[in-house]
Structure 1
Amino acid sequence: MAETLLDRHDAVLFDLDGTVYHGTRPIPGAAEAIAHVRKRGRPVRFVTNNASKSPEAVTEHLGKVGVTAEPVEVSTSAQAGAALLREHLPAGAVVLVVGAASLEAEVRAVGLRPTRQYGTDVAAVVQGHSPDTGWSDLAEACLAVRDGALWVACNLDATLPTERGQLPGNGAMVAALRAATDREPMVAGKPEAPLLRTAASSAGATSALVVGDRLDTDIAGAAAAGYRSLVVLTGVATARRLLAAEPGERPDYLAADLTALTHWVSATDLEIGPRPGWRVTVADSVATVESTEPAADRLHLLRHLCYVAWSSSVTNVRAADPRAEEALTSLGLG
C-alpha cells in the first residue's frame, strides 16, 4: 500500500474557516476526513485565527457541521493573544479589549483586567475579530494606542471565509487602527509560530501536519513553526496566488479538499513537484503547458506549475493544446 500523509505525520493541525467549514456550512468530505484521521490513531487539533469564539463555542459549532471535538483540542488566537499580553504585563494590568466576549474572558483568565473604555490606567490593547466591532470601539483603542499602550492583534487575516463569501476579517480592522495611529501591533496568531507549536505540543506531536486554506497564515505559520503543510483549495488560496507564493508561504502538499487525508491517497501524489501527464517549459518568463496524457489530472498540473514557478521566473502561463487550455481555465489560469 502506498505511503499516505498520515504515515508521515503524527498529528494533524486543522485550520477551521475555509478548511473545515464556511461559516455555518460544512465543507463536503471534511467531517469524514477528520473522522478517518482519528480512526488512524492520529491526534487532531483545531487551530483557528478567529478570536470571536471560545474553545467551547468552537467545539459546539464543529458538532453542528458533523465534526466531533473536545474543547482541549481547540487552540484560538484569543488564547494566544491573552498569553502574549501576560508575558509583557504584570498581574492585574488593565487591557482594553476590541473584540468578542470570548476574548475578554481569555484576558481575565490570565489574571489581567479587561475594559472597553480608554483611561489613563490602560496598559494594553488587544484586538480580535468580532462582527459587532464599530467605530466607537476603534476610537477607544486609538486613544490608548496613541497614548503608548501595548497593542496586540490576535491575527492579521484581512478576510474571513463565510457561507456568503469573503468578508472583512480582523486584519481589516487592524489596518484601520494602524492608519489612525501610525503604529504596528504585536501579532499573536498565525503566521507566528507559538499558536501552532502549542497545539502540536498538546498532542505530543513531533512531526505535525498543518492543514489550511491561507498561504499567509496557515502555510506561513507552519513554515515558521518548522512543520510541513497541506494547502486545500476550499477557501482563500487560488492557483494564481499559489504560483506567486513567497518562499515562506509555499506548502509541501496541495489538494482540492480534506479528502486527501483519507487512506486511498498517496502522499507522493500530493507533493509539489513534476507530475506525469504534463510538460511545462519556460522561456522569457512564460510557462508553456502541454498535455501528454488524455486524462491528465488538473491538480497534478498545478503541483507541477508551482514547482516550476517557484524555481524559475514565471510571469505568465500559456497552453500549447486544447487539453492544457481546458485545465488552465478550470484552475483560473486561462
Structure 2
Amino acid sequence: MLTSPASALSAVYDLAMLDLDGVVYIGGSAVPGAAASIARAREDGMRIAFVTNNAARPPGRVAEHLRELEIEAQAQDVVTSAQAAARVLRDRFGAGARIAALGAEGLVEALAAAELEVVDVEADADAAVTGYGPDVRWRDIMRIATRIKGGLPWVASNTDGSIPTPYGEAPGHGVLVDTIARFSGVTPVVAGKPSPPLLQETIRRVGGKRPLMVGDRLDTDIEGGTAVGVDTLLVMTGVTGLDELLAAPSESRPTYLAADLSGLLVPHPEPEVTGAQTRVGGWVATVQGGSARLTGEGSAHDWWRALAHAAWAHLDATGTPVGGAGLEPPSPSAVPGGGSLPA
C-alpha cells in the first residue's frame, strides 16, 4: 500500500530520477506545471536527474530540448540507456574493447565517451550493442543478428515495445530486440529500465543517498525503481490509465502516487480506513459490487490515492480488479490544492 511521509517528498529524498516522456514532457510540449515543480524541488535541495530509455539522442540534445521547454538542464543532468549500456560493456570488456554498434548518434557517442572503440557490424568485435535508430538498415540488422547467433555477446539499450512519434505510437527498440532474440535464441543483457543498469548509472553519475524514481509507467519506471531497491512515485500524466492502475499487482505498485510532479512538493496523507471506506484528505473511496465510488472534494493527488488504496485492498482480498467505469479524475487545476504549487 501507499506510504505516507509527514513531509514533502522533496524534503525526504535528495535525488529525484525523472522519466521524461509522460512525466516532464509529452511529445514536444512540457507537462503543465512540470517546469515550476522541478524548480521548486531544486529549491528544496533536491538533485534532479532526467532518465530516459531512449538511446537515440545524446544527453546534450536532450538537455537542449528541456531548456526549450523552460526547464533548467545540462548534459550532466541527463542519463540515457545508451550510457548505461556503455557502462555495462566497459565493465565487462574494459577500455578499448571493440563494439559492433547498431543504433543512432546517442549510442555511438556514449560508447566513445566510455573509451570503447565503435566498429562496423562486419568488423571483428568483442561484443555487439543495439539501440533505437530510425535510420538503421535491414542488412545491418541481418548481419548483427547472425553474429549474435554465432556467439557474439549482446547488450541491448532497452526493450521498450513502443515509442511516441508525431504520427502516433510506433514500434520501439524492443520489437527489434524480440526479433533478434527469436532468430538467434539469445537473450541480451538489457541496460534500460526496468533492468538495474540505467538507474544504477544515474545514481553513480548524479549522486544522492536517498534517491526516488519518478515515472508514469508501472512496467518500466516503477518496476525499475523496485529492482534497484529505491522508492517510487507514479504520476498520472502519462501512459498509465485508470484501469491499469486499479489492476496493478503488488510488485508493480508505487511507493507514492500523485496527479503530477507537484506531488513532490506536498505531504502524502495517510489513508484512513473505516469498514469499506477509505478516506484520503477530503475524498472518500468506497468499493461496492466490484465498482469504486468517490465522494467529497480535495486535491487531485488525494483523489488518486484514495481510489488506489481502496481498489488495491479489494484486489488483494478478492483477486478481482475494481472497475473504473464512470470515474472521472479531477483536473489538477480544477480542485483546490490539486496539482498546484503549495505556498
Superposed CA deviations along residues 81-110 of structure 1, whole A, max 9, x for unmatched, are 011111222443321111112211222222
Q: 2:154 maps to which residue? A: 151
Q: Is 2:313 the partner of 1:302?
A: no
Q: Distance in 1 between matches of 2:139 and 2:217?
A: 30
Residue 37 (structure 2) aligns with:
33
Q: Does 1:220 align with 2:219?
A: no
TM-score by length of 2: 0.83
Query: SS of the residue aligned with 1:267?
Result: coil
Gapped regions of structure 2 (runs ≥ 5): 1-5, 332-343
Distance 1:227 1:318 in 2: 30
Residues 269-299 of structure 1 show CA distances to partners (whole Å, capped at 9, x for unaligned) of 699x943412225xxxx633244x3447642
Distance 2:218 2:17 in 1: 15
- Counterpart of 2:70 in 1: which secondary structure? coil
* Amino acid aligned to 2:307: L
1:326 corresponds to: 326
1:260 aligns with 2:267: no
Q: Please list, as runs of the form range in 1=range in 2, the aligned pairs for 1:58-73 lying within 5 A after superposition.
A: 58-73=62-77
Task: Give the letter for the 2:227 counterpart.
Answer: A
Q: Alpha carbons of 1:157 and 1:51: their partners in 2 closer, same or farther (altered >3 Å)?
A: same
Pair 1:111 & 2:115 matched: yes
Shift of 1:305: 3.9
Task: State the distance in 1 between where 2:284 and 2:148 align.
Answer: 56
Q: Deviations over 1:12-33 (max 9, x none)?
A: 1101122111232221111111
Q: 2:145 matched to 1:142?
A: yes
Kindly indicate whether residue 1 of structure 2 is the aligned counterpart of residue 4 of structure 1: no
How far residue 186 of structure 1 moved from its aligned partner, in angstroms, is 0.4
1:237 paired with 2:240, answer yes
C-alpha distance 252-90 of structure 1, shift in aligned 2 (>3 A): closer
Q: Deviations over 1:114-163 (max 9, x none)?
A: 123224x2221111112223422311211210111111011111122345
Question: Is the 8 Å Cα contact of residues 102 and 131 (structure 2) preserved in structure 1?
Answer: yes
CA shift at 1:4, angstroms?
A: 1.4
Cα distance in 1 for partners of 2:271, 2:167 equals 29
| 2:80 equivalent among 56, 76, 85 | 76
Alignment correspondent of 2:55:
51
Q: Which of residues 257, 280, 302 in structure 1 aligns to 2:287?
A: 280
Structure 1, unmatched stretches of 5+, are 320-324
Task: Provide the rounded CA distance (Å) in 2 between the counterparts of 1:23 and 1:16.
Answer: 10
The equivalences for 1:89-108 within 5 A come to 89-108=93-112
Q: Where does residue 200 of structure 1 map in the other structure?
A: 203
CA contact (8 A) 1:274 1:303 kept: no
Percentage of pairs with the same residue: 37
Please give the alpha-carbon distance, in whole angstroms, between the structure 2 residues aligned to 1:176 and 1:64: 36
Query: What SS is found at the alignment partner of 1:240?
Result: helix
CA displacement at 1:244 relative to structure 2: 3.1
Q: Is 1:317 aligned to residue 317 of structure 2?
A: no
Name the residue aligned to 2:340.
Answer: none
| Distance 1:212-1:294 versus aligned 2 partners, 3 A rule | closer
SS of aligned partner of 2:35 = helix
Residue of structure 2 in register with 1:322 after alignment: none
The C-alpha deviation readout for 1:243-269, integer Å capped at 9, x for no partner, is 33343321111222212223xx32226
Q: Distance in 2 between matches of 1:105 and 1:113?
A: 11
Contact 2:311 2:321 in 1 (8 A): no
Q: CA deviation at 1:235?
A: 2.0
Q: Which amino acid aligns with 2:139?
A: S
Q: Give me the whole-angstrom Cα distance separating, in 2, the residues matched to 1:199 and 1:329.
A: 33
For the residue of structure 1 that corresponds to 2:210, the secondary structure is coil
1:160/1:168 contact within 8 Å kept: yes
The 8 Å contact of residues 91 and 111 in structure 1, kept in 2 or not, is answered as yes
Q: Distance in 1 between matches of 2:122 and 2:311?
A: 48
**Contact 1:18–1:213, Cα closer than 8 Å, also in 2:** yes
Equivalent position amino acid for 1:227 in 2:
V
